[in-house]
A = this chain, B = another copy of it.
Amino acid sequence: MARSPQKKTSAPASGNAVTADLVAVLVAVTDGTPKIMTIAGGSALPSGPFEFTHRSLQTALRAWVEAQTGHPLGYVEQLYTFADRGRSGDARTPHSVSISYLGLTREDQVGEGFEAHWSGWYDYFPWEDHRAGTPVCLAKMIAPKLKTWAKAAPSPTLQRERWQRCAITFGLEDRGWNEELVLQRYELLYEALLIPEAGRAHDREAPIVPGKPMTADHRRILATGIARLRAKIKYRPVVFELMPAEFTLLQLQRSVEALAGRLVHKQNFRRLMEQQELVEETGAMAADTVGRPAKLFRFRHAVLAERAVVGTKLPLSRT
């Protein structure tokens, strides 16, 4: 089947040949800590060349992750395709297209003898964890530095606009924290040169914000993945991919909170779970617990066949 005329009349394939890479954001949640699979001492996301022996990108990613971790991948979703030369540095390297994916697993599913390292994702984004209230680094370090950056704009109008952008994306000045703006926040810090990856790293005076950096644009890809996942859990039952087969409602709640980076109202969370019929009792009770023992639940896989849209809404507080 012929493609479009445009393509037929275009330059030969060798003219714009590129290499295709896969980059994976593999997420697990262990003990209420969201983790991502990393390599190179936690400074890079797992990535590799795309093998065209596979039928599709998804198949390639699954096979590749399985080879790396020794376990099949549950939920997989494409994130974004990057081809920016600007950030990757050297223009003389062969052009590369990076196709990034988000994958959900459990840490314990990784086979023995594999080089998988799991790093807490808040190591890379300390300002994103609002479970214990607004992080200290946000108010004490990031906000002031953003203010300085805003004030450095050429005109008063631009200064105000810059600061307004900062205030919105970081929820400053009582605007309320929006946990989904992960990428926007990273991009803003990048633009303000508060992130090592933004270059100017040789500038020792550069005011750098806390948070572990990553190779190339991997931290940006990670931010994309976190943002996507935080949005997704609200309208698709994907949290369960990160849970063991049986769990208590509190464990489930803790996982949701870990991903969202903020706390939810316990009773309302249970109400949502019940009325949405996402889970069912196993009949067993949790063992080895403090306090009153909780019922064990399992995910009702049937809901996937029953309804098109089901989510784990976040019963947030208005305050």
Contact = CB atoms under 8 A, between A and B. Distances in A.
Contacts of A46: 4, 6
A164 interface: yes
A192 interface: no
Contacts of A6: 39, 46-48
Interface stretch (A13-21, A132-140, A255-263): A13-21
A292 interface: no
Give me the 10 closest cross-chain CB pairs, A-B, nearest first.
A4-B44, A13-B94, A81-B81, A17-B17, A56-B84, A6-B48, A13-B19, A10-B49, A52-B95, A16-B49
Contacts of A75: none
A3 B216 contact: yes
Q: Does more than half of chain A's interface fall in helix, strand or loop, or is it mixed?
A: mixed
A20 B13 contact: no
A4 B215 contact: yes
Contacts of A56: 83-86
A144 to B, nearest CB: 21
A161 interface: yes
Contact of A16 (B16, B51, B181): B51
A306 B48 CA distance: 41
Interface string A89-101: 1000011110100
Contact of A55 (B57, B86, B165): B86
A206 interface: no
A306 B165 CA distance: 8
A290 interface: no
A169 B88 contact: no
Contacts of A305: 161, 164-165, 168
A16 B99 contact: no
Contact of A81 (B1, B39, B99): B99
A202 interface: no
Nearest to A57: B83
Contact of A49 (B7, B169, B181): B7
A6 B22 CA distance: 11
A50 interface: yes
Contact of A3 (B13, B15, B85, B215): B215
B52 A81 contact: no
A284 interface: no
Contacts of A11: 49
B21 A18 contact: no
Chain B CB count within 10 A is highest, among A4, A86, A88, A97, for A4
A169 B308 contact: yes
Interface in A21-42: 21, 39-40
Contacts of A13: 19, 94, 96
B7 A21 contact: yes
Contacts of A215: 1-4
A4 B40 contact: yes
